[in-house]
Amino acid sequence: MEEKIVRSVDRAPTISDVAQQAKVSRATVSRAFGQPQLLSREMVAHVRAIAERLGYVPNHTARALSTGKAGNLALLVPDITNPFFASLMRGVQGRALGIQYATFLADSDEDPALEDVLIAKLAAQVDGFILASPRLPKKTLLQHAGRRVCVLINRDIPNFARILVDGAKSYEEAVEHLARLGHRTAAYVSGPRLSWSNGQRLRAVLAAGMRHGVKIVQFATDRPTFEAGEACVAGLIESGTTAVLAYDDLLAQGIMAGLARHGLSVPEDFSVVGCDGVLATRTYPPLTSVAIDCQSAGEQAVELLVDVMRGKSASGRRIVLSSDLVIRATTARPRPGGRTYQAPAPASPTRTKSE
């Protein structure tokens, strides 16, 4: 029952093989696939039948070389383990497949230098890039855009085709929501400094805080990770705030873990708001969060990309997607008598190595 893998010795059939079998020229075979309207009905059928029988599949590489079109696109993300970008990838691949494009994925690990290298390496093989939250300076992006079409996601640079997820309104609503519950002060835990989304969200929170009489305290993290969220909790508690808005859900999760470690419960002692739309619905307790349709963002990015490539004068188009504030279980009115402090309980996990 142990079938051997038979590595096929006979190379894959080429256009010449089909041409020979069909007793036509290679050009005809090519046209039978590329421009069937140039050939007679019968000829197309004939050639295709032969091709089918031989198992012929046009060679993507050869086609790319002679046409100058790669038939590929690349998606660059700063962190694929972040559910936001993972969902984005799904959206991109779905639409790309529909237009016969294959998708390279590259993860820059939040590193601008690596991002630059990856773009350069892939440039030869793709017709266009979708750059999600790129960290590269505008100048560098302009250079790359000069060679290959680039669509940006969550980075707002004039003259670039770009998709922006507008979290501002929802963050403002979140602040209002907290104000209504009776919070007089709240913290904003920021994401990557260079991130457009982060700037937008911070501004929205500050403005809304002003408007609704909520004092805003800022906390910085260099990367939006669980650990970073956990780490900022000490400062959070010290600051005397009763609510926190995080840049994203990953941070929010970390914050919740940190709060628990300090003996504080959510939402009784602390209210927490995140942002993303994936993780929030997949963890417990259900996180009050700004929901984003990441998949749709990816799909629209692909469409925008092809529009630009086809020269539909969509070059500078700016598409803004809206978001929703979804109120779940991590926000409530602050404890009237103030917080009940408890000693931190650092639960170090027990590891059992197998094998």
Give the footprint of DNA on residues 5-44 (CB under 7 A). 11, 14-16, 23-28, 30-31, 33-35, 38-40, 42-43
In the complex, the smallest distance separating the C-beta of residue 42 from a second copy, rounded to whole angstroms, is 28
Interaction of residue 343 with a second copy, rule CB under 8 A: no
Contact assessment for residue 125 and residue 104, using Cβ atoms and an 8 Å cutoff: yes
> Which of 25, 282, 312, 341 forms a contact with a second copy (CB under 8 A)?
282
Interaction of residue 170 with a second copy, rule CB under 8 A: yes
Q: How many residues bind a second copy, per CB under 8 A?
A: 83
Interaction of residue 264 with a second copy, rule CB under 8 A: no
Interhelix angle for 168-181 vs 196-212, to 10°?
A: 40
- By residue count, the chain amounts to 355
The three-state secondary structure class of 102 is strand
Of these partners, a second copy, DNA, none, which one is at the site of residue 24 (CB under 5 to 8 Å by kind)?
DNA
In the sheet with 215-219, reading across from the earlier edge strand, the strands are 215-219, 185-189, 243-246, 271-276, 288-291
Question: CB-wise, 65 or 220, nearer to DNA?
Answer: 65
Residue 263, CA distances (Å) to 13, 26, 169, 277 in order: 68, 75, 33, 27
Question: CB-wise, 28 or 300, nearer to DNA?
Answer: 28
Q: Which own/partner pairs from 310-314 qualify as long-range (CB within 8 Å, at least 24 positions apart)?
A: 314/161
Q: How many residues bind DNA, per CB under 7 A?
A: 29
Contact assessment for residue 104 and residue 129, using Cβ atoms and an 8 Å cutoff: no
Query: How far apart, in whole angstroms, are the C-alpha atoms of residue 58 and residue 307?
Result: 25
Contact assessment for residue 22 and residue 48, using Cβ atoms and an 8 Å cutoff: no
Of these partners, a second copy, DNA, none, which one is at the site of residue 67 (CB under 5 to 8 Å by kind)?
DNA
Residues 96-125 that bind a second copy (CB under 8 A): 97, 102-107, 109, 118, 120-125
Interaction of residue 99 with DNA, rule CB under 7 A: no
Residues 45-84 that bind DNA (CB under 7 A): 56, 58-59, 62-63, 65-68
Cis preceding linkage at 285, omega within 30: yes
Interaction of residue 234 with DNA, rule CB under 7 A: no
Site residues (vs DNA, CB under 7 A):
11, 14-16, 23-28, 30-31, 33-35, 38-40, 42-43, 56, 58-59, 62-63, 65-68
